[in-house]
Chain A
Amino acid sequence: MIEISHVNKWYGPSFQVLKDCTTSVAKGEVVVVCGPSGSGKSTLIKCVNALEPFQEGQIILDGVKVNDPKTDLPKLRARVGMVFQHFELFPHLRIIENLCLAQEKVLGRSHDEAVAKGDKLLERVGLKAHANKYPAELSGGQQQRVAIARALAMDPIAMLFDEPTSALDPEMISEVLDVMVDLAHEGMTMMVVTHEMGFASKVAHRVIFMDKGEIVEDAQKTDFFGSPRSERAQKFLSKILSH
C-alpha cells in the first residue's frame, strides 16, 4: 500500500532530516513509528501524502508515485486520512460542517449525503450529540475524535496519525486510542507516529524506530519489544518503559 524507498530530505543546504529511509506498509497493516523527538518521524509520515516535499528517493502510494510532478496531489491526498497532533479542526465551522467540507468540495458529494455520512461517523466516535457545536467548545480528546471522524469521512484507503495523543491530557488519551484500536481491528491500513507503546504492543504489526533521520530498526512487534537489535532502540525503550 505504502512503499517508501531511499527517501532523503534536507532542510536548507546542509541539514539532512531524512537519511535513506526505506520501509513499507502493507494493506491492513498497522505500523507504529517511534523515536526521540527530532528524529524525523513526523517528517517521514508527512512525506507520504506530500505535505512535506523530499529531494531524493520515491514514495508509492497504492500504485501512485507521490513525488511525480504529474500526480494529481489533491486527489491522492483525499484518499489518505491524516490526523494531526493539534487536531486542526477548522474553528469557524461546526463539528458536522468540519466533517462535510471536504466531502462536498473534494469528493463532490451532495450536502445531504455528506451530513448522513458525517452523522454516522460522529455516532461511531461517540460525539453525535456535539454535531452542532464549534471545535473550541469540545475537549481535546473529543476534538481529536472528531478529527479522526473527519478523516474517515473521506473513505480513506489508509490513515496517517502524527502523534495523535501527544497534546492530550492523560485522561483523554484512552478515548482516542480506543477509536484507533477499533480502526486497527477493522483492518484499516495505518501508519502511526506515537510514543504510546501500550498501543503499539496491542495493535501494531510492525514497529519502526527512527533516530537522527534514519530508520534504525524496522521489526515485527514481538521482535521489537522482545529483543531490539540496536542499542539506540534499547536505550529509547528503557527510558520510556521504565515509568
Chain B
Amino acid sequence: MNYNWNWHIFFEPNPTGAGTYLDLLVSGLWLTIKTALLAWIIALIFGTIIGILRSLPSKAASWISFCYVEFFRNMPLLVQLFLWFFVLPELLPRTAGLWLKQLPNAPFWTAAIGVGLFMSARVAVQLAAGIASLPRGQKQAATALGLTTTQGYRYVLLPMAFRIIMPPLTSEFLNTVKNTSVAITIGLIELTGQARAMQEFSFQVFEAFTAATIMYLAINIIVVTGMRFLERSLAIPGYITGK
C-alpha cells in the first residue's frame, strides 16, 4: 500500500482558514455531543410517555403506543431522516414548507428530533417491559393505598422500572450517540462529517478516521462510566444489583 502517513496533519492549518485540522474535528465532536444529548432527551421524554401508554390496560392507549412504536422502529433511521428533511417540507402547505426549509440549523434540529424519535420507540418498549416485570401486586398496593394511576406510576412503578432497565438504557444512550452519524446524509457536519471533510482536504483518510474513532470511543466511555455511576448510586440495598 502506497500511503503517506502523517500524524502531524492534525496540527496543520485547515483550508477553511479557522484553525487546525484538529480544531475541525473538535468542532464536529461538539456538534455530535449536542445532537446526541438533545436526541437522548427527546428519546427519554417521548419514550417514557409512550412506554407508560403501552403498559396501561386501556385499549386506546395501547393502540396509540402500538402505532407509534411500530412506525418509528420499523423504518430505517436513514429513511426517517430523509423523510423529515426532504419529504415533509414538500408535503406541508407551501408557506409552511418554505419556512421549514429556511429554518436556520435545519440539519441539526432535524437530526436531533429524528434520531430522538427513532430512539424513543426503543426506550418505550424497554420501559414497558420494565413496568411489566414488576409484580402485579405493586400496582395493586399503590391503588389500594388510594394513590391515583398517575401517582402510582410517579412514585411506585416508574422508579423501580427505570432502575431495572438501566443496563439496556445505557446501550440505547450509546446507540443514540452513534446514530447521530447518519445525519451526515442531511448535511450535518458532525464528527463523521468533519472526518470526511478532513479526508477530502488532506487525503489523510486513515488519520482522520482514526481520530474520529477515538473521539466516538471517548464519548461512549464517558457515557458508560456515567451510567454505571448513576446505576450504583440508585441501587437499592438488598435488591437485584444492590449490595
B143: Cβ under 8 A from any A Cβ: yes
Does B222 lie at the interface of the complex (its beta carbon under 8 Å from any beta carbon of A)?
Answer: no
Decide if A134 touches B238 in the complex (CB within 8 Å).
yes
B147–A102 CB distance below 8 A? yes
Q: Are B146 and A74 in contact (CB under 8 A)?
A: yes
The reply to whether B137 and A105 form a contact with Cβ atoms under 8 Å apart is no
- B239 interface contact, C-beta 8 A: yes
Alpha-carbon gap, A85 to B242, bound state (A): 24
**A74 contacts across to B, CB distance below 8 A:** 143, 146-148
Are A106 and B147 interface neighbours, CB within 8 A? yes
Contacts of A1 in B (CB 8 A): none
A111 to B143, CA, bound (A): 21
Q: Which residues of A contact B156 (CB under 8 A)?
A: 90, 101
Residues from chain A with a CB closer than 8 A to the CB of B143 are 51, 74, 77
Partner of A134, one of B138, B141, B236: B236
CA of A106 to CA of B142 in the docked complex: distance in angstroms? Answer: 11
Whole-angstrom distance between the alpha carbons of A88 and B242 in the complex? Answer: 18
Complex contact A78–B145 (CB within 8 A): yes
Q: Given contacts A101-B145, A102-B145, A136-B237, is CB(A86)–CB(B159) below 8 Å? A: no
B contact residues around A185 at 8 Å (CB): none
Please state if B140 and A88 are interface contacts (CB–CB under 8 Å).
yes
Q: Interface size of A by Cβ–Cβ distance < 8 Å? A: 31
Chain B residues, CB < 8 A from A106? 145-147, 151
A-facing mask of B146-178, CB < 8 A → 1, else 0?
111001000110011001000000000000000
Q: Does B135 contact A (CB under 8 A)?
A: yes
Q: Which of B141, B237, B239 has the most CB of A within 10 A?
A: B141
Contacts of B237 in A (CB 8 A): 133-134, 136-137
* Contact, CB under 8 Å: A92 / B160: yes
B146 touches A102 (CB 8 A): yes
Q: Answer yes or no: A243 CB below 8 A from chain B CBs.
A: no
Hey, which chain A residues are within 8 Å of B159, CB to CB?
Answer: 92
Q: Please, what's the 1-or-0 string for A50-68, where 1 marks a CB less than 8 Å from any CB in chain B?
A: 0100000000000000000
B79 on interface, CB distance cutoff 8 Å: no
Interface residues of A in 82-130 (CB under 8 A from B): 82, 84-86, 88-92, 101-102, 105-107
Which residue, of B135, B141, B145, B242, has the highest number of chain A Cβ atoms within 10 A? B145
Q: Does A49 contact B (CB under 8 A)?
A: yes
Tell yes or no: B75 within 8 A of A by CB: no
Contact B144 A77 (CB under 8 A): yes
B146 close to A84 (CB less than 8 A): no
List, in ascending order, chain B residues with CB within 8 A of A79's CB. Answer: 146
A74 to B70, CA, bound (A): 34
Bound CA span A75–B160, Å: 25
Inter-chain contact A88/B137, CB cutoff 8 Å: yes
Residues in B lying within 8 Å of A, measured CB to CB: 135, 137-138, 140-148, 151, 155-156, 159-160, 163, 236-239, 242
Task: For the complex of A and B, list the 3 residue pairs with the smallest distance between their C-beta atoms, beginning with the closest.
Answer: A78-B146, A136-B238, A88-B141
* 13 more CB-based (< 8 A) A-B contacts, given A51-B140, A137-B238: A51-B144, A77-B143, A77-B144, A79-B146, A84-B140, A90-B141, A90-B155, A101-B155, A134-B236, A134-B237, A136-B239, A137-B237, A151-B145
> Could you name 28 residue pairs across A and B whose Cβ atoms are closer than 8 Å?
A49-B144, A51-B143, A77-B144, A77-B145, A80-B144, A82-B141, A84-B137, A84-B140, A84-B144, A86-B137, A88-B137, A88-B140, A90-B142, A90-B155, A91-B239, A92-B159, A92-B160, A101-B145, A101-B147, A101-B156, A102-B146, A106-B145, A106-B151, A135-B238, A150-B145, A151-B145, A154-B145, A154-B146
